[in-house]
Amino acid sequence: MTTTEIINPENLVYIKPKVLNDNPMHYCPGCSHGVVHKLIAEVIEEMDYQEKTIGIAPVGCAVFAYKYLDIDWQQAAHGRAPALATATKRLLPDRLVFTYQGDGDLAAIGTAETLHACNRGENIAIIFINNGIYGMTGGQMAPTTLVGMKSSTSPNGRTVPLNGNPLDITKLLAQLDGTCYVTRQSVHNVANVRKAKKAIRKAFENSMLGKGTSIVEVVSTCNSGWKLSPADSNIWMVENMFPAYPLGDLKDL
């Protein structure tokens, strides 16, 4: 059987979700954002929530998420996505409200908003992309940057006496009573992509069931910021990021 015979609608097993539109993404080649966008689109499509979903875009590379996912969007000031999501969910409780934030957005500038929204137990889902640096602005050090990790503002590597310890904010959020589901995932291979999709689905379902705040951290790569190829970034992430940010559920009520 030739390739052209196999390429037939009845043999289709995987296609781009319709919620993800045809605009070419501006992300660098190999960026984890694309995979997470795709997973969110698949989950929304499977839950049939396209008309009832409101995403809150962050400041950072994913600020343009509204161009790629065909749902309603709001765009928050830097770090304030959980505050905006709180208002959106309280005014429109029948909608699925999620925020999509990077580590600079969630763990540095928006720490207060994040902690308090989680502590209040707002019925929102937070997708947290942790790549250890400020990717959009040129790879500066973020609170999540690993000890010894080089960034454009720590060219000799982060040191504890000068820069302090890395902030494991997901572990912190798991301690709060308002959170119902806190998990850490990655999207570097097929098995983890599937797990991450399940986690996102669970977070979205929890949000609609009114169980509290769900946080899905996705340990990600920023190959441009890390100055590595996409494939090497995945290897670097497995070797260096995972020991500091181990994958798995931190809380599941």
Partner 1 sequence: MAKIKGAIVVNIERCKGCNLCVVACPSKVLSLNNEANSKGYNYSYMEDPDSCVGCSACAYVCPDACITVYKVRV
**By CB under 8 A, is residue 3 in contact with partner 1?**
yes
Closest CA to 59 of 40, 81, 33: 81
Stretch that binds partner 1, among 21-29, 70-78, 127-135, 140-148 (CB under 8 A): 21-29
**By CB under 8 A, is residue 187 in contact with partner 1?**
yes
Six token digits for residue 223: 């190959």
Q: State which residue, 157 or 230, has the beta carbon closest to partner 1.
A: 230
Q: State which residue, 111 or 192, has the beta carbon closest to partner 1.
A: 192
Q: Which residues, other chains included, contact 45 with Cβ-Cβ below 8 Å and sequence gap of 6+?
A: 17, 18, 19
Residue of 234, 237, 245, 250 interacting with partner 1 (CB under 8 A): 234
Q: State which residue, 6 or 162, has the beta carbon closest to partner 1.
A: 6
**By CB under 8 A, is residue 247 in contact with partner 1?**
no
C-alpha 81/C-alpha 184 separation (Å) is 20
Residue of 91, 165, 190, 239 interacting with partner 1 (CB under 8 A): 190
Q: What are phi and psi of 219, to 5 degrees?
A: -70, 120
C-alpha 136/C-alpha 164 separation (Å) is 23
C-alpha 4/C-alpha 11 separation (Å) is 11
**By CB under 8 A, is residue 90 in contact with partner 1?**
no
Q: Report in angstroms how near the CB of residue 35 gets to partner 1 at its nearest.
A: 5
Q: Please state, as a whole number, how many other Cβ atoms lie within 10 Å of the Cβ of residue 93.
A: 11
**By CB under 8 A, is residue 127 in contact with partner 1?**
no
Q: Report in angstroms how near the CB of residue 98 gets to partner 1 at its nearest.
A: 19
User: How many chain residues are in contact with partner 1, going by CB under 8 A?
Assistant: 36
Q: State which residue, 24 or 155, has the beta carbon closest to partner 1.
A: 24
Q: State which residue, 24 or 243, has the beta carbon closest to partner 1.
A: 24
- Whether 151 and 141 have beta carbons less than 8 Å apart is answered as yes
Stretch that binds partner 1, among 34-42, 49-57, 148-156, 175-183 (CB under 8 A): 34-42
- Whether 55 and 100 have beta carbons less than 8 Å apart is answered as yes
Q: Report in angstroms how near the CB of residue 82 gets to partner 1 at its nearest.
A: 26
C-alpha 192/C-alpha 200 separation (Å) is 12
Q: State which residue, 2 or 165, has the beta carbon closest to partner 1.
A: 2
Q: What are phi and psi of 214, to 5 degrees?
A: -115, 135
C-alpha 66/C-alpha 231 separation (Å) is 27
Q: List residues bridging with 128 in a β-sheet.
A: 101, 217
Name the site residues for partner 1 (rule: CB under 8 A). 1, 3, 5-8, 11-17, 20, 24-25, 27-35, 38, 187-190, 193-194, 229-231, 234
